[in-house]
Amino acid sequence: MTEANENNDQENSPTPLEQATYLLQKYKLVAGLVHLQGISDESLVESTVQKQNLSELQDFLDQLHPADIAHILEALPLDDRLLIWSMVKAEYDGEVLLETSDAVRATLITDMGSKELVAATEYLNTDEIADLAPDLPQEVMDDVFRSLPIAEREQLREAMSYPEDSVGALMDFNVITIREDVRLEVVLRYLRRLEEMPDHTDQLFVVDRNEHLKGVLLINRLLVSDPDTLVAEVMSKEMIKLHPNDVAQQAANAFERYDLVSASVVDDTDKLLGRVTVDTIIDFIRDKAKSEALNLAGLSEDEDLFAPVLKSVKNRWVWLAINLVTAFIASRVIGMFEDSIEKLVALAALMPIIAGIGGNSGNQTITMIVRALALDQINNRSTWKLIFKEIGVSAVNGLIWGTIIGLLTFAIYQNPQLGLVMGIAMILNLLLAALLGVLIPLTLRKFGHDPALGSSVMITAVTDSGGFFIFLGLATVFLL
Amino acid sequence: MTEANENNDQENSPTPLEQATYLLQKYKLVAGLVHLQGISDESLVESTVQKQNLSELQDFLDQLHPADIAHILEALPLDDRLLIWSMVKAEYDGEVLLETSDAVRATLITDMGSKELVAATEYLNTDEIADLAPDLPQEVMDDVFRSLPIAEREQLREAMSYPEDSVGALMDFNVITIREDVRLEVVLRYLRRLEEMPDHTDQLFVVDRNEHLKGVLLINRLLVSDPDTLVAEVMSKEMIKLHPNDVAQQAANAFERYDLVSASVVDDTDKLLGRVTVDTIIDFIRDKAKSEALNLAGLSEDEDLFAPVLKSVKNRWVWLAINLVTAFIASRVIGMFEDSIEKLVALAALMPIIAGIGGNSGNQTITMIVRALALDQINNRSTWKLIFKEIGVSAVNGLIWGTIIGLLTFAIYQNPQLGLVMGIAMILNLLLAALLGVLIPLTLRKFGHDPALGSSVMITAVTDSGGFFIFLGLATVFLL
């Protein structure tokens, strides 16, 4: 962690990524020059300079934290990435793989042999291996299983059995357990015999002989209490107990609300299975926020920044296809009114305004509702209040913007009726946006879908087609 | 924390929010009945039943964690919210205010008298008071300052001096410091004299007599080491040092990468100022994700779910106004081609398809780039690679979707030239979207702006106006 320290120390010192890029360039530049000039008898110079450059790069990488290496790999184009990857210490391989995003991890794993992959898992805990498992080839996982002691084999099987996004998938097995009938003195001596304690150990778990959780002894309590005290006297019986099949979001909410560092995971009989720690929760929160942003923009999954073009196309086509369908429907709605547009061509120029602002307003409503649903703030009682509120907001906005746009239209086209139709269409489309902005996410949720996924596309489809229909329909009836 | 525990224990037990809503309804129902029937001599019954209901609600609230109370307040309409708020224990007031969102906090503070507010701060640390300070009336802050001992007054002044989103704003002062020349035995005895240790104390800070940071003693090391060892022998000299004027995001990245529970904050001379803890970081990450989602949707700031209509209108008008301007520009672009549309009205129906898919594709690119910028993965060298990649993706997508939409157009309008123009316009608009999808966030960043803010609006404006111009322009040149 020296690097991180040094970097935080001086604000203008280069980041690990900048340093790595610089050293990499230096190495590649010489390689390029030699190659360019076809100088063969300079192979001596080449090898000396190059060896030096390479070892400089190697030294730099060796002192980096695995998380920093992962960050550098993410930011490099594929060829540079694989060059750096080949230079990472074998004992860091596993940790670096854990820290990279799914897309980049895949490029690294493809570059490794089976043996290398098995070796990489040797430095990992079973719960960490389980995190990598979905990305590893079957034969590698078979070898990994064979290489583990029986107890850990069982743990790995257990860790792999939990569905993604469950508490079980976030759980690790690094718990220290103690009994309630011993004195703190004994606990302290027991701890002193350990070589080190697992990271994020802020509490010891008090269990009976059947491993049922009785309470927790906070390390902070342990340190300030008289060593003669019994564990039972200072342990806390009020604690967060998670279950492996709970959804992970629930655990994240608990950590956020109660400011936890670790929390126990128990089965239905209160038997201690493991724990969840705050570092895992932070990763979960970050990944969740990332995938939400990706989904909103119509990217199916995480994408390597330097993914080959065809891979990116594959990642993005679904939403483009959906968008094509909704755009096509909107186009057909306009097609219905081609006669009207032929008679009054101004309609063609004005209609995107109605559709666009409706879409923007609808997305504002959707965002409010999706957020409130995620935070569990909406129940049946409040639904009506929300619909009324959003309709109220839209009515006011409609009056304001409808008036402005109506006057603008009148100013440009000198046609008061056209201005009036424009203003009324604006109000109606904003009301439509408000109503469906509340109903779409609530309905998705009711049927068990993620209320965020696709909401934005749907509301835009509605406000586009709906906006065109309202505006052109009104124009056809009242103007022509 | 009993409640939280019970709730996690049985999956189907009601959440605190559900329970609160139920008890509140029971209370309000009776009140409503009595009011409705105008029964005055039943005041005895009323008061007995009501007193019972009220005390049931009170008992329930009294056992809740402040974070749970905050959650309930967020989810309730204003009148119910204020009723519950009036029943919260005075010593929880401060913590509940800290846990609520800015918008809801404002509604609660408006409901409190100056004395109540000053009293609420009495249970808070100085760094927590500083968090509330921007929302408190000046005379309350004056009283708070007067009520504090001099040392804390200085701390509060310091905490309030750091800009929002700086490390200083996340910092607290709850550090335990020790000297390097003492034995662990002494440290343990020192700790035992404390009544309790600050939350999230996973390390003690080793300082010299001028409070310059020499190293950290991890609690986990302290526990497993021989008590006869000197602090200097087991302390770690490699550690994360944050500076109060660093941007907060930098601290969040460090916590995420190095799995920290706490980190020191020092000034330029390495003097220890305070620390940042992981619970603050989680709140920061969550707030950041929230405000990004809000900004993307065109909401200026956090909005109370049950805000009055006019307040919501105010929160949303800026982006609607910006959207109106961009939509108006797009409309004027179409207006330039009114003659062409009059001659070939199919153009009006087809043009939104070009604009829509361009917008979608551009937003995909923007999201990728903004995310990579946030993770610090883009440097000057990779910019060109990214532009080429995105243009490649758009070229492939353009060929695919351009062909499909061209054939569809031909099928509907039986006009091969129109189909060809449609296909070419699609390709060109997707290329435009790719180029600007990379350039817009990079340019915003270059000039020191948040690359996320407004990117989406800008790319949509470009792909709308640009799409209309490309399509209608091509049609005018080649078809008419």
Q: Is the pLDDT of residue A97 over 80?
A: yes
**Is there a single domain that holds both residue A403 and residue A333?**
yes
The answer to whether residue A235 scores a pLDDT higher than 60 is: yes
Q: Give the amino acid at B384.
A: W
Residues in chain A within 8 Å Cβ distance of B261: 200, 202, 261, 278
A125-128: long-range pairs with CB below 8 Å, 24+: A125/A172, A125/A173, A125/A174, A126/A152, A126/A155, A126/A156, A126/A159, A126/A173, A127/A155, A127/A159, A127/A171, A127/A172, A127/A173, A127/A274, A128/A94, A128/A98, A128/A172
- Between CA B245 and CA A47 the distance in angstroms is 46
Query: Is residue B113 assigned to a domain?
Result: yes
Tell whether A269 and A182 lie within a shared domain: yes
Distance CA A100, CA A95 (A): 9
Check residue B426 and give its pLDDT.
97
CB-CB under 8 Å, A77 with B385? yes
* Spatial distance between the Cα atoms of B376 and A17, rounded to a whole number of angstroms: 9
Among B218, B255, B221, residue whose Cα is nearest residue A278: B255
d(CA B204, CA B275): 11
Q: Rounded distance, CA B362 to CA A33, Å?
A: 39
Count the neighbouring beta carbons within 10 Å of the beta carbon of residue B12: 4
Work out the average pLDDT over B37-58.
70
Look at the block and give the residue holding tokens 């306009």. A334
The answer to the question of residue A168 being in a domain is no
CA distance A142 to chain B (A): 30
Q: Look at residues A108, A133, A161 and tell me which one is the last residue of a structural domain.
A: A161
Q: Are residues B279 and B334 in the same domain?
A: no
Mutate to test the interface with B, among A1, A10, A260, A460 (most CBs of B within 10 A): A1
Alpha helices in B135-272 (DSSP H): 138-147, 150-161, 167-170, 184-192, 219-224, 231-234, 248-258
pLDDT at A66 over 50: yes
Cα B40 from Cα B51, distance rounded (Å): 17
CATH of the domain at A284: 3.10.580.10
Token pair for B266: 């020092």
Q: Given B201, B240, B282, which is nearest A282 (Cβ)? A: B282
C-alpha distances out from residue B203 to A47, A351, B207, Å: 47, 63, 13
Q: Average pLDDT in the B81-91 region? A: 92
Q: Residue A18: what pLDDT?
A: 85
pTM check: above 0.90: no
Let me know if residue B171 belongs to a domain: no
Identify all chain B residues contacting A379, using CB atoms and an 8 Å cutoff: 17-18, 21, 75
**Which residue in A has a C-alpha nearest to residue B240's C-alpha?**
A5
- Residue A6 token pair: 């040094």
Cβ–Cβ gap A309/B389 under 8 Å: yes
Indicate whether A120 and A13 sit together in one domain.
yes
User: Exposed, middle or buried, A113 (CB in 10 Å: 0-12/13-18/19+)?
Assistant: exposed
CB contact under 8 A, A348 and B352: no
Q: Tell me, yes or no, whether B261 and B218 share the same domain.
A: yes
Do B13 and B127 lie in a common domain? Answer: yes
The pLDDT of residue A33 is: 61
Residue of chain B nearest A193, judged by CA positions: B224
| Closest-CA distance of chain B to residue A112, Å | 24
- For residue B22, give how far its alpha carbon lies from the nearest alpha carbon of chain A (Å): 11
Res A428: pLDDT: 97
Res A51: pLDDT: 82
Distance from CA of B182 to the nearest CA of A (A): 17
pLDDT-above-70 percentage for chain A: 93
Is residue A342 scored above 90 in pLDDT? yes
Burial of B149 (0-12, 13-18, 19+ CB in 10 A): exposed
- Whether B168 is in a domain gets the answer no
Nearest to A396 among B197, B307, B313 (CB): B313
Q: Are residues A339 and A286 in the same domain?
A: no
Q: How many domains does chain A have?
A: 3
pLDDT at B448: 84
Domain CATH for B141: 1.25.60.10
Three-class SS of residue B82?
helix
CB pairs under 8 A between A and B: 379
A413 to chain B: nearest residue by CA? B335
φ, ψ (nearest 5 deg) of residue A171: -75, 145
Structural domain contains residue B169: no
**Residue B439 CA: distances (Å) to CA of A133, A246, B366, B387:** 38, 43, 9, 8
Whether the predicted pLDDT of A9 surpasses 50:
no
Q: How far apart are CA B415 and CA B420, in angstroms?
A: 9
DSSP code for B212: B
d(CA B190, CA B114): 40
For A112-159, the pLDDT digits (tens) are 999 999 999 999 999 999 999 999 999 999 999 999 999 999 999 999
- For residue A41, the enclosing domain spans 2-161
Closest-approach residue (CA) in chain A for B255: A279
Are residues B141 and B84 located together in one domain of the fold? yes
C-alpha to C-alpha distance for A79 and A16, rounded to whole angstroms: 19
Q: Which of B243, B276, B297 is the last residue of a domain?
A: B297
Residues B58 and B28 in one domain: yes
Whether residue A167 is contained in a domain is answered as no
Quote the ipTM score.
0.84
Contacts of A299 in chain B (CB under 8 A): 364, 367-368
Query: If you average pLDDT over residues B463-477, what whole number do you get?
Result: 96
* A74 neighbourhood in chain B, CB within 8 Å: 375, 377
Burial category of A413 from C-beta neighbours within 10 Å (exposed 0-12, middle 13-18, buried 19 and up): middle
Mean residue pLDDT of chain B comes to 89
CA angle, B19 as apex, B13 and B25 as ends, to 5°?
Answer: 140
With bands split at pLDDT 50, 70 and 90, how would you rate the model's confidence at B36?
low
Answer yes or no: is A107 within a domain: yes
Do B11 and B56 fall into the same domain? Answer: yes
Please report which confidence band the pLDDT of residue B244 belongs to, taking 50, 70 and 90 as the band edges.
Answer: very high
CB contact under 8 A, B8 and A285: no
Read off φ and ψ for residue B215, nearest 5 degrees: 175, -175
Same domain, B375 and B247: no
Q: How far apart are CA B406 and CA A314, in angstroms?
A: 21
Using the 3D structure, point to which of A297, A322, A357 is the last residue of a domain: A297
Lowest mean pLDDT among A306-310, B131-135, B173-177, B217-221: A306-310
Question: Between chains, do A259 and B372 touch, taking CB under 8 Å as contact?
Answer: no
Cα angle value B10/B11/B17 (rounded, 5°): 95
Distance from C-alpha of A415 to C-alpha of A57, rounded to nearest angstrom? 72
Nearest-by-CA chain A residue for B250: A8
* Cα A399 from Cα A394, distance rounded (Å): 8
3-state DSSP assignment of residue B207: strand
Query: How is residue A188 written in tokens?
Result: 């302290």
B192 interaction partners in chain A (CB closer than 8 Å): 223-226
Q: What are the CA-CA distances from residue B65 to residues B2, B61, B151 (Å)? A: 8, 9, 30
Residue B38 is predicted with a pLDDT of 55
Say yes or no: A344 and A474 in one domain: yes
At A457, which CATH number?
1.10.357.20
**How far apart (Å, rounded) are the C-alpha atoms in residues A208 and A224?**
24
How many angstroms separate the CA atoms of B275 and A337, rounded? Answer: 66
Look at residue A262 and tell me if it is in a domain. Answer: yes
Answer whether residue B10 shows pLDDT above 50.
no
Mean pLDDT (chain A) is 89
Q: How far apart are CA A400 and CA A426, in angstroms?
A: 10
Residue A454's Cβ-side half-sphere holds a number of Cα atoms within 13 Å equal to: 14
Range of weakest confidence among A221-235, A236-250, A359-373 = A359-373
Give percent above pLDDT 90 in chain B: 68
Beta-carbon separation of A377 and B8 below 8 A: no
- pLDDT on residue A45: 54
